[in-house]
Structure 1
Protein backbone atom coordinates (compact mmCIF):
# COMPACT_ATOMS: atom_id res chain seq x y z
CA UNK A 1 0.00 0.00 0.00
CA UNK A 2 2.87 2.39 0.63
CA UNK A 3 4.72 1.76 -2.63
CA UNK A 4 2.10 3.20 -4.99
CA UNK A 5 2.04 6.69 -3.45
CA UNK A 6 5.86 6.67 -3.41
CA UNK A 7 5.93 5.66 -7.08
CA UNK A 8 3.37 8.34 -7.84
CA UNK A 9 5.44 10.99 -6.10
CA UNK A 10 8.53 9.90 -8.01
CA UNK A 11 6.65 10.11 -11.32
CA UNK A 12 5.34 13.55 -10.37
CA UNK A 13 8.81 14.75 -9.47
CA UNK A 14 10.17 13.31 -12.72
CA UNK A 15 7.52 15.02 -14.84
CA UNK A 16 8.06 18.27 -12.94
CA UNK A 17 11.80 18.06 -13.59
CA UNK A 18 11.23 17.33 -17.28
CA UNK A 19 8.77 20.19 -17.71
CA UNK A 20 11.13 22.56 -15.89
CA UNK A 21 14.05 21.48 -18.09
CA UNK A 22 11.99 21.99 -21.25
CA UNK A 23 10.92 25.46 -20.09
CA UNK A 24 14.50 26.43 -19.25
CA UNK A 25 15.68 25.24 -22.66
CA UNK A 26 12.82 26.99 -24.47
CA UNK A 27 13.05 30.28 -22.57
CA UNK A 28 16.06 31.69 -24.47
CA UNK A 29 14.43 30.89 -27.81
CA UNK A 30 11.13 32.48 -26.79
CA UNK A 31 12.98 35.49 -25.38
CA UNK A 32 14.90 35.92 -28.63
CA UNK A 33 11.72 35.70 -30.73
CA UNK A 34 10.09 38.41 -28.63
CA UNK A 35 13.22 40.56 -28.91
CA UNK A 36 13.24 40.14 -32.70
CA UNK A 37 9.61 41.26 -32.94
CA UNK A 38 10.37 44.32 -30.79
CA UNK A 39 13.46 45.16 -32.87
CA UNK A 40 11.40 45.05 -36.07
CA UNK A 41 8.70 47.31 -34.63
CA UNK A 42 11.24 49.82 -33.37
CA UNK A 43 12.98 49.81 -36.77
CA UNK A 44 9.67 50.55 -38.48
CA UNK A 45 8.96 53.45 -36.13
CA UNK A 46 12.43 54.96 -36.71
CA UNK A 47 12.07 54.58 -40.49
CA UNK A 48 8.71 56.36 -40.38
CA UNK A 49 10.28 59.40 -38.64
CA UNK A 50 13.54 59.64 -40.60
CA UNK A 51 12.86 60.37 -44.26
CA UNK A 52 16.54 60.28 -45.29
CA UNK A 53 16.88 56.56 -44.57
CA UNK A 54 17.25 54.05 -47.38
CA UNK A 55 15.19 51.03 -46.37
CA UNK A 56 14.49 49.97 -42.81
CA UNK A 57 17.24 50.38 -40.19
CA UNK A 58 18.72 47.37 -38.43
CA UNK A 59 17.98 47.43 -34.71
CA UNK A 60 19.54 45.22 -32.05
CA UNK A 61 18.30 45.25 -28.46
CA UNK A 62 20.89 44.13 -25.93
CA UNK A 63 20.43 42.60 -22.51
CA UNK A 64 19.03 39.26 -21.35
CA UNK A 65 16.38 38.34 -20.61
CA UNK A 66 14.56 40.66 -23.00
CA UNK A 67 11.16 39.92 -21.47
CA UNK A 68 12.28 41.18 -18.06
CA UNK A 69 13.59 44.41 -19.60
CA UNK A 70 10.37 44.78 -21.58
CA UNK A 71 8.33 44.34 -18.42
CA UNK A 72 10.35 47.11 -16.78
CA UNK A 73 10.09 49.32 -19.87
CA UNK A 74 13.87 49.84 -19.90
CA UNK A 75 16.69 48.38 -22.04
CA UNK A 76 20.40 48.74 -21.21
CA UNK A 77 21.60 48.91 -24.82
CA UNK A 78 20.06 49.43 -28.25
CA UNK A 79 22.12 49.58 -31.46
CA UNK A 80 20.78 51.08 -34.69
CA UNK A 81 22.48 50.66 -38.08
CA UNK A 82 21.08 52.35 -41.19
CA UNK A 83 21.86 53.59 -44.70
CA UNK A 84 20.85 57.13 -45.61
CA UNK A 85 21.24 59.81 -48.28
CA UNK A 86 22.02 63.47 -47.54
CA UNK A 87 20.24 66.37 -49.21
CA UNK A 88 23.24 66.63 -51.56
CA UNK A 89 22.74 63.01 -52.59
CA UNK A 90 25.73 61.59 -50.70
CA UNK A 91 25.44 58.07 -49.35
CA UNK A 92 25.96 57.80 -45.58
CA UNK A 93 26.13 54.82 -43.23
CA UNK A 94 24.77 55.62 -39.80
CA UNK A 95 25.63 53.73 -36.62
CA UNK A 96 24.01 54.77 -33.32
CA UNK A 97 24.62 53.13 -29.95
CA UNK A 98 22.03 53.98 -27.30
CA UNK A 99 22.27 53.39 -23.57
CA UNK A 100 19.55 53.13 -20.93
CA UNK A 101 16.61 53.28 -23.32
CA UNK A 102 13.29 53.73 -21.52
CA UNK A 103 9.72 53.75 -22.71
CA UNK A 104 8.12 57.17 -22.24
CA UNK A 105 4.50 57.56 -23.22
CA UNK A 106 4.18 56.76 -26.91
CA UNK A 107 7.93 56.58 -27.61
CA UNK A 108 11.41 55.86 -26.26
CA UNK A 109 14.16 58.01 -24.77
CA UNK A 110 17.86 57.14 -24.41
CA UNK A 111 19.90 58.54 -21.55
CA UNK A 112 22.94 58.78 -23.86
CA UNK A 113 23.80 58.14 -27.50
CA UNK A 114 27.02 57.85 -29.50
CA UNK A 115 26.67 58.07 -33.27
CA UNK A 116 28.88 57.72 -36.32
CA UNK A 117 27.92 58.91 -39.80
CA UNK A 118 30.32 57.57 -42.43
CA UNK A 119 30.49 58.84 -46.02
CA UNK A 120 32.32 56.40 -48.35
CA UNK A 121 35.24 57.86 -50.29
CA UNK A 122 33.54 57.41 -53.66
CA UNK A 123 30.77 59.82 -52.59
CA UNK A 124 33.22 62.62 -51.67
CA UNK A 125 35.41 63.01 -54.74
CA UNK A 126 33.31 65.53 -56.69
CA UNK A 127 35.13 68.81 -57.29
CA UNK A 128 38.67 67.46 -56.86
CA UNK A 129 39.27 66.99 -60.56
CA UNK A 130 38.65 64.26 -63.08
CA UNK A 131 40.11 60.92 -62.08
CA UNK A 132 40.75 61.94 -58.48
CA UNK A 133 40.57 59.11 -55.96
CA UNK A 134 40.26 59.36 -52.19
CA UNK A 135 41.51 56.93 -49.57
CA UNK A 136 42.83 56.73 -46.00
CA UNK A 137 46.57 57.32 -45.60
CA UNK A 138 46.83 54.93 -42.64
CA UNK A 139 47.45 57.73 -40.12
CA UNK A 140 43.90 59.02 -39.80
CA UNK A 141 44.18 61.47 -42.69
CA UNK A 142 42.65 61.81 -46.14
CA UNK A 143 44.75 60.96 -49.21
CA UNK A 144 43.88 62.41 -52.62
CA UNK A 145 45.51 61.01 -55.76
CA UNK A 146 45.11 62.41 -59.27
CA UNK A 147 47.11 63.12 -62.40
CA UNK A 148 48.27 66.56 -63.53
CA UNK A 149 49.84 66.80 -67.00
CA UNK A 150 50.13 63.03 -66.97
CA UNK A 151 52.13 63.00 -63.72
CA UNK A 152 50.90 61.78 -60.32
CA UNK A 153 49.92 64.32 -57.66
CA UNK A 154 49.29 63.14 -54.10
CA UNK A 155 47.89 65.36 -51.37
CA UNK A 156 47.40 64.32 -47.73
CA UNK A 157 44.88 66.40 -45.82
CA UNK A 158 43.34 66.56 -42.36
CA UNK A 159 39.58 66.98 -41.95
CA UNK A 160 38.90 69.30 -39.02
CA UNK A 161 35.71 70.13 -37.16
CA UNK A 162 35.13 73.60 -35.75
CA UNK A 163 31.70 73.96 -34.24
CA UNK A 164 29.50 72.57 -37.00
CA UNK A 165 31.91 73.32 -39.86
CA UNK A 166 34.20 70.71 -41.43
CA UNK A 167 37.27 71.93 -43.31
CA UNK A 168 39.90 69.90 -45.18
CA UNK A 169 43.44 71.21 -44.65
CA UNK A 170 46.36 69.94 -46.84
CA UNK A 171 49.36 68.95 -44.68
CA UNK A 172 51.62 67.14 -47.17
CA UNK A 173 51.92 66.78 -50.91
CA UNK A 174 54.09 65.29 -53.64
CA UNK A 175 54.22 65.75 -57.41
CA UNK A 176 55.86 63.13 -59.63
CA UNK A 177 57.27 61.57 -56.46
CA UNK A 178 58.87 64.78 -55.15
CA UNK A 179 57.65 66.71 -52.09
CA UNK A 180 55.92 70.03 -52.76
CA UNK A 181 54.50 72.71 -50.50
CA UNK A 182 50.92 71.71 -49.49
CA UNK A 183 50.17 75.39 -48.91
CA UNK A 184 51.11 76.28 -52.50
CA UNK A 185 48.55 78.27 -54.52
CA UNK A 186 47.41 75.44 -56.81
CA UNK A 187 46.85 72.95 -54.00
CA UNK A 188 45.24 75.57 -51.78
CA UNK A 189 42.92 76.56 -54.62
CA UNK A 190 41.81 72.93 -55.08
CA UNK A 191 40.69 72.77 -51.44
CA UNK A 192 39.40 76.33 -51.09
CA UNK A 193 35.69 76.64 -50.51
CA UNK A 194 35.31 73.00 -49.58
CA UNK A 195 33.95 73.76 -46.14
CA UNK A 196 30.95 71.70 -45.13
CA UNK A 197 28.44 72.87 -42.56
CA UNK A 198 27.02 69.88 -40.72
CA UNK A 199 23.22 69.90 -41.05
CA UNK A 200 20.92 69.41 -38.11
CA UNK A 201 21.45 65.85 -36.94
CA UNK A 202 18.56 63.57 -35.96
CA UNK A 203 17.38 63.30 -32.36
CA UNK A 204 19.31 66.40 -31.27
CA UNK A 205 22.74 64.79 -31.67
CA UNK A 206 25.71 67.21 -31.62
CA UNK A 207 28.90 66.69 -33.69
CA UNK A 208 32.05 66.06 -31.63
CA UNK A 209 34.83 65.21 -34.11
CA UNK A 210 35.61 63.92 -37.59
CA UNK A 211 37.92 61.03 -38.49
CA UNK A 212 39.18 59.09 -41.51
CA UNK A 213 39.20 55.29 -41.70
CA UNK A 214 39.18 52.54 -44.28
CA UNK A 215 35.40 52.86 -44.72
CA UNK A 216 35.48 56.61 -45.44
CA UNK A 217 35.17 59.90 -43.58
CA UNK A 218 33.23 59.66 -40.33
CA UNK A 219 31.44 62.37 -38.38
CA UNK A 220 31.12 61.46 -34.71
CA UNK A 221 28.25 62.81 -32.63
CA UNK A 222 26.89 62.50 -29.12
CA UNK A 223 23.65 63.26 -27.35
CA UNK A 224 21.88 62.99 -23.99
CA UNK A 225 18.20 62.42 -23.28
CA UNK A 226 17.72 61.47 -26.93
CA UNK A 227 14.15 61.05 -28.11
CA UNK A 228 13.83 58.12 -30.52
CA UNK A 229 10.21 57.88 -31.60
Structure 2
Protein backbone atom coordinates (compact mmCIF):
# COMPACT_ATOMS: atom_id res chain seq x y z
CA UNK A 1 0.00 0.00 0.00
CA UNK A 2 1.34 3.35 -1.00
CA UNK A 3 1.24 6.48 1.06
CA UNK A 4 -1.12 8.04 -1.52
CA UNK A 5 -3.77 5.31 -0.92
CA UNK A 6 -3.91 5.59 2.92
CA UNK A 7 -5.53 9.05 3.22
CA UNK A 8 -8.28 7.97 0.81
CA UNK A 9 -9.02 4.79 2.80
CA UNK A 10 -9.07 6.65 6.14
CA UNK A 11 -11.48 9.25 4.75
CA UNK A 12 -14.25 6.80 3.69
CA UNK A 13 -15.16 5.50 7.21
CA UNK A 14 -15.30 9.07 8.52
CA UNK A 15 -17.61 10.03 5.64
CA UNK A 16 -19.97 7.12 6.43
CA UNK A 17 -20.05 7.99 10.14
CA UNK A 18 -20.84 11.61 9.28
CA UNK A 19 -23.76 10.55 7.11
CA UNK A 20 -25.09 8.21 9.83
CA UNK A 21 -24.96 11.00 12.41
CA UNK A 22 -26.77 13.32 10.01
CA UNK A 23 -29.48 10.72 9.35
CA UNK A 24 -29.96 10.09 13.09
CA UNK A 25 -30.22 13.83 13.78
CA UNK A 26 -32.74 14.21 10.93
CA UNK A 27 -34.87 11.33 12.26
CA UNK A 28 -34.79 12.81 15.78
CA UNK A 29 -35.74 16.22 14.42
CA UNK A 30 -38.65 14.79 12.42
CA UNK A 31 -39.79 12.85 15.47
CA UNK A 32 -39.66 15.98 17.61
CA UNK A 33 -41.63 17.95 15.00
CA UNK A 34 -44.19 15.13 14.87
CA UNK A 35 -44.61 15.21 18.65
CA UNK A 36 -45.04 18.99 18.60
CA UNK A 37 -47.68 18.73 15.86
CA UNK A 38 -49.54 15.98 17.74
CA UNK A 39 -49.43 17.93 21.00
CA UNK A 40 -50.60 21.04 19.16
CA UNK A 41 -53.50 19.16 17.61
CA UNK A 42 -54.47 17.67 20.99
CA UNK A 43 -54.53 21.16 22.51
CA UNK A 44 -56.71 22.40 19.66
CA UNK A 45 -59.08 19.45 20.08
CA UNK A 46 -59.51 20.15 23.78
CA UNK A 47 -60.18 23.84 23.11
CA UNK A 48 -62.60 23.06 20.26
CA UNK A 49 -64.66 20.72 22.46
CA UNK A 50 -64.82 23.30 25.25
CA UNK A 51 -65.80 26.07 22.84
CA UNK A 52 -68.43 23.86 21.21
CA UNK A 53 -70.11 23.35 24.58
CA UNK A 54 -70.03 27.08 25.32
CA UNK A 55 -71.44 27.94 21.89
CA UNK A 56 -74.23 25.38 22.45
CA UNK A 57 -75.08 27.02 25.78
CA UNK A 58 -75.13 30.49 24.22
CA UNK A 59 -77.42 29.37 21.37
CA UNK A 60 -79.83 27.89 23.91
CA UNK A 61 -79.84 31.14 25.93
CA UNK A 62 -80.53 33.16 22.77
CA UNK A 63 -83.34 30.83 21.76
CA UNK A 64 -81.74 30.02 18.42
CA UNK A 65 -83.13 26.87 16.80
CA UNK A 66 -80.35 24.99 15.04
CA UNK A 67 -78.56 21.68 14.86
CA UNK A 68 -75.51 20.93 17.03
CA UNK A 69 -72.69 23.43 16.35
CA UNK A 70 -69.36 22.41 14.84
CA UNK A 71 -66.39 24.47 16.02
CA UNK A 72 -62.94 24.64 14.43
CA UNK A 73 -59.99 26.77 15.53
CA UNK A 74 -57.96 28.47 12.82
CA UNK A 75 -54.42 29.79 12.88
CA UNK A 76 -51.19 28.05 13.91
CA UNK A 77 -49.78 27.08 16.30
CA UNK A 78 -52.83 26.14 18.37
CA UNK A 79 -51.14 25.47 21.69
CA UNK A 80 -49.82 29.02 22.08
CA UNK A 81 -53.30 30.37 21.29
CA UNK A 82 -54.85 28.10 23.93
CA UNK A 83 -52.31 29.10 26.58
CA UNK A 84 -52.58 32.78 25.68
CA UNK A 85 -56.39 32.67 25.62
CA UNK A 86 -56.45 34.55 22.33
CA UNK A 87 -57.46 33.04 18.96
CA UNK A 88 -57.01 34.44 15.45
CA UNK A 89 -60.18 32.86 14.08
CA UNK A 90 -62.84 30.44 15.24
CA UNK A 91 -65.20 28.92 12.68
CA UNK A 92 -68.68 27.78 13.74
CA UNK A 93 -71.00 25.85 11.44
CA UNK A 94 -74.70 25.65 12.24
CA UNK A 95 -77.26 23.59 10.32
CA UNK A 96 -81.01 24.04 9.92
CA UNK A 97 -81.21 27.49 11.49
CA UNK A 98 -84.96 27.94 11.61
CA UNK A 99 -87.56 30.57 12.37
CA UNK A 100 -91.35 30.63 12.23
CA UNK A 101 -92.82 32.79 9.44
CA UNK A 102 -96.62 33.05 9.70
CA UNK A 103 -96.98 29.32 10.18
CA UNK A 104 -94.44 28.47 7.49
CA UNK A 105 -90.79 27.78 8.18
CA UNK A 106 -88.00 29.68 6.51
CA UNK A 107 -84.69 27.97 7.18
CA UNK A 108 -81.02 28.46 6.52
CA UNK A 109 -79.77 24.94 5.72
CA UNK A 110 -76.29 26.03 6.82
CA UNK A 111 -74.93 29.12 8.55
CA UNK A 112 -71.14 29.47 8.49
CA UNK A 113 -69.84 31.86 11.14
CA UNK A 114 -66.28 33.17 11.40
CA UNK A 115 -65.35 34.87 14.67
CA UNK A 116 -62.10 36.87 14.65
CA UNK A 117 -59.86 38.17 17.42
CA UNK A 118 -61.46 35.85 19.99
CA UNK A 119 -60.64 36.11 23.68
CA UNK A 120 -61.22 32.85 25.55
CA UNK A 121 -59.11 32.51 28.73
CA UNK A 122 -57.86 29.02 29.53
CA UNK A 123 -59.59 29.10 32.94
CA UNK A 124 -62.89 29.83 31.19
CA UNK A 125 -62.45 26.83 28.89
CA UNK A 126 -61.54 24.60 31.84
CA UNK A 127 -64.37 25.67 34.14
CA UNK A 128 -67.08 26.63 31.66
CA UNK A 129 -67.50 29.87 33.60
CA UNK A 130 -66.62 33.31 32.33
CA UNK A 131 -67.00 35.10 29.04
CA UNK A 132 -65.74 34.43 25.52
CA UNK A 133 -65.80 37.44 23.19
CA UNK A 134 -64.97 38.12 19.54
CA UNK A 135 -63.77 41.39 18.06
CA UNK A 136 -65.83 40.79 14.91
CA UNK A 137 -68.11 38.10 13.52
CA UNK A 138 -69.35 37.39 10.00
CA UNK A 139 -71.94 34.84 8.99
CA UNK A 140 -73.05 33.52 5.60
CA UNK A 141 -75.97 31.26 4.81
CA UNK A 142 -78.02 30.34 1.76
CA UNK A 143 -81.80 30.11 1.46
CA UNK A 144 -82.86 27.63 -1.21
CA UNK A 145 -84.97 28.91 -4.07
CA UNK A 146 -87.42 26.05 -3.52
CA UNK A 147 -88.19 27.23 0.03
CA UNK A 148 -88.65 30.81 -1.22
CA UNK A 149 -90.94 29.68 -4.04
CA UNK A 150 -93.01 27.66 -1.56
CA UNK A 151 -93.38 30.80 0.57
CA UNK A 152 -94.72 32.74 -2.44
CA UNK A 153 -97.39 30.03 -2.91
CA UNK A 154 -97.90 30.43 -6.66
CA UNK A 155 -98.45 27.28 -8.70
CA UNK A 156 -95.61 26.59 -11.13
CA UNK A 157 -93.51 29.53 -9.93
CA UNK A 158 -89.75 29.06 -10.12
CA UNK A 159 -86.94 31.26 -8.81
CA UNK A 160 -83.29 31.39 -9.78
CA UNK A 161 -80.32 33.63 -10.51
CA UNK A 162 -79.87 35.45 -13.81
CA UNK A 163 -77.08 37.94 -14.45
CA UNK A 164 -76.67 38.51 -10.71
CA UNK A 165 -80.38 39.20 -10.11
CA UNK A 166 -83.24 37.17 -8.65
CA UNK A 167 -85.28 35.89 -11.61
CA UNK A 168 -88.81 34.50 -11.63
CA UNK A 169 -90.80 32.46 -14.14
CA UNK A 170 -94.41 31.36 -13.73
CA UNK A 171 -97.45 30.39 -15.81
CA UNK A 172 -100.12 33.11 -15.52
CA UNK A 173 -103.69 33.47 -16.82
CA UNK A 174 -103.83 36.57 -19.03
CA UNK A 175 -106.78 37.47 -21.25
CA UNK A 176 -108.08 33.91 -21.13
CA UNK A 177 -104.72 32.37 -21.97
CA UNK A 178 -102.18 30.64 -19.75
CA UNK A 179 -98.82 32.09 -20.75
CA UNK A 180 -95.29 32.00 -19.30
CA UNK A 181 -94.33 35.17 -17.47
CA UNK A 182 -90.77 36.09 -16.49
CA UNK A 183 -88.97 38.95 -14.80
CA UNK A 184 -86.62 39.97 -12.00
CA UNK A 185 -86.87 41.21 -8.42
CA UNK A 186 -85.32 44.04 -6.46
CA UNK A 187 -84.00 42.84 -3.10
CA UNK A 188 -83.68 45.07 -0.05
CA UNK A 189 -82.85 44.32 3.58
CA UNK A 190 -84.23 46.22 6.54
CA UNK A 191 -84.10 45.22 10.22
CA UNK A 192 -83.61 41.54 9.57
CA UNK A 193 -86.32 41.40 6.92
CA UNK A 194 -85.75 40.66 3.22
CA UNK A 195 -88.09 42.43 0.81
CA UNK A 196 -88.65 41.04 -2.70
CA UNK A 197 -90.24 43.43 -5.20
CA UNK A 198 -90.75 41.94 -8.65
CA UNK A 199 -90.42 44.28 -11.61
CA UNK A 200 -90.06 44.25 -15.39
CA UNK A 201 -92.35 41.27 -15.92
CA UNK A 202 -93.03 40.23 -19.50
CA UNK A 203 -95.56 37.75 -20.89
CA UNK A 204 -94.38 35.57 -23.76
CA UNK A 205 -96.42 36.05 -26.93
CA UNK A 206 -98.68 38.75 -25.49
CA UNK A 207 -98.97 42.32 -26.79
CA UNK A 208 -97.41 45.02 -24.64
CA UNK A 209 -100.66 46.91 -24.21
CA UNK A 210 -101.88 48.82 -21.17
CA UNK A 211 -104.25 46.03 -20.09
CA UNK A 212 -101.51 43.37 -20.18
CA UNK A 213 -99.16 45.70 -18.29
CA UNK A 214 -101.82 46.28 -15.63
CA UNK A 215 -102.42 42.54 -15.24
CA UNK A 216 -98.68 41.88 -14.97
CA UNK A 217 -98.37 44.64 -12.39
CA UNK A 218 -101.13 43.03 -10.31
CA UNK A 219 -99.39 39.67 -10.53
CA UNK A 220 -96.05 41.24 -9.53
CA UNK A 221 -97.64 42.84 -6.47
CA UNK A 222 -99.12 39.49 -5.47
CA UNK A 223 -95.73 37.73 -5.38
CA UNK A 224 -93.78 40.67 -3.88
CA UNK A 225 -93.32 39.88 -0.20
CA UNK A 226 -91.43 40.74 2.96
CA UNK A 227 -89.65 37.70 4.40
CA UNK A 228 -88.55 37.78 8.05
CA UNK A 229 -85.32 35.81 8.47
CA UNK A 230 -84.62 33.36 11.29
CA UNK A 231 -83.25 34.88 14.47
CA UNK A 232 -79.48 34.85 13.98
CA UNK A 233 -77.07 34.18 16.86
CA UNK A 234 -74.32 36.40 18.27
CA UNK A 235 -76.07 39.70 17.45
CA UNK A 236 -75.56 39.09 13.73
CA UNK A 237 -77.32 41.70 11.57
CA UNK A 238 -77.99 41.03 7.89
CA UNK A 239 -75.90 43.36 5.73
CA UNK A 240 -76.36 41.86 2.27
CA UNK A 241 -78.56 39.44 0.35
CA UNK A 242 -77.59 38.41 -3.16
CA UNK A 243 -78.74 35.75 -5.61
CA UNK A 244 -76.35 32.92 -6.40
CA UNK A 245 -76.96 29.90 -8.64
CA UNK A 246 -77.53 27.70 -5.56
CA UNK A 247 -79.83 30.08 -3.67
CA UNK A 248 -80.22 33.45 -1.99
CA UNK A 249 -77.03 34.10 -0.01
CA UNK A 250 -77.42 36.02 3.25
CA UNK A 251 -74.41 37.82 4.78
CA UNK A 252 -74.55 39.13 8.34
CA UNK A 253 -72.04 40.97 10.54
CA UNK A 254 -71.49 42.00 14.14
CA UNK A 255 -68.73 43.56 16.26
CA UNK A 256 -67.62 43.05 19.88
CA UNK A 257 -69.75 39.95 20.25
CA UNK A 258 -70.14 37.63 23.26
CA UNK A 259 -69.67 34.09 21.96
CA UNK A 260 -70.42 32.95 25.51
CA UNK A 261 -71.73 35.45 28.02
CA UNK A 262 -70.17 35.44 31.47
CA UNK A 263 -72.32 33.76 34.09
TM bucket, shorter chain: 0.7 to 0.9
CA contact (8 A) 2:89 2:118 kept: yes
Local SS of the residue matching 1:87: strand
Q: CA deviation at 1:198?
A: 4.6
Partner of 1:157: 185
After superposition, residues 63-212 of structure 1 pair within 5 angstroms as 63-83=75-95, 84-88=97-101, 89-92=105-108, 93-103=110-120, 105=124, 106-125=130-149, 126-137=151-162, 139-149=163-173, 150-176=178-204, 181=213, 184-192=216-224, 194-198=225-229, 200-212=231-243
CA contact (8 A) 1:165 1:198 kept: yes
Q: SS state of the match for residue 25, structure 1? A: helix
Distance in 2 between the 1:218 and 1:78 partners?
A: 21
Do the aligned partners of 1:170 and 1:182 also contact (CA within 8 Å) in 2?
no
Identify the match of residue 246 of structure 2 among 198, 201, 215: 215
Distance (Å, rounded) in 2 between the aligned partners of 1:177 and 1:116: 40
Structure 2 counterpart SS, 1:64: coil
The answer for the alignment partner of 2:257 in structure 1 is 226
Instruction: Give ranges in structure 1 of 5+ residues lacking alignment.
Output: 1-9
How well do the aligned residues superpose, as a CA RMSD in angstroms?
2.9
Q: Is the 8 A contact 2:237 2:252 kept in 1?
A: yes
1:10-46 per-residue CA deviation (whole Å, 9 max, x = no partner) reads 9999977754431212322332233234323322332
- The answer as to whether partners of 1:170 and 1:183 remain within 8 angstroms in 2 is no
Which residue, out of 56, 73, 83, partners 1:47?
Answer: 56
How many residues of Structure 1 are paired with residues of Structure 2 in the alignment? 218
Greater alpha carbon shift after TM alignment, 99-108 vs 59-68: 99-108
CA contact (8 A) 2:51 2:71 kept: yes
**Runs ≥4 residues deviating over 6 A:** 10-17
- Counterparts in 2 of 1:71 and 1:22: CA distance versus 1, 3 Å: same
5+ residue gaps, structure 2? 1-17, 125-129
For the pair shown, which has the larger CA radius of gyration, 1 or 2? Answer: 2
- For the 8 Å contact 1:153–1:174, the answer to whether it is kept is yes
TM-score, scaled to structure 2: 0.71
The normalised TM-score by structure 1 is 0.80
SS in 2 for 1:130: coil
Q: Residues 210 and 17 of structure 1: is their aligned pair in 2 closer, same or farther, counting only changes over 3 Å?
A: closer
Name the one with the larger helix percent.
2
| CA apart distance, 1:210 | 1.6
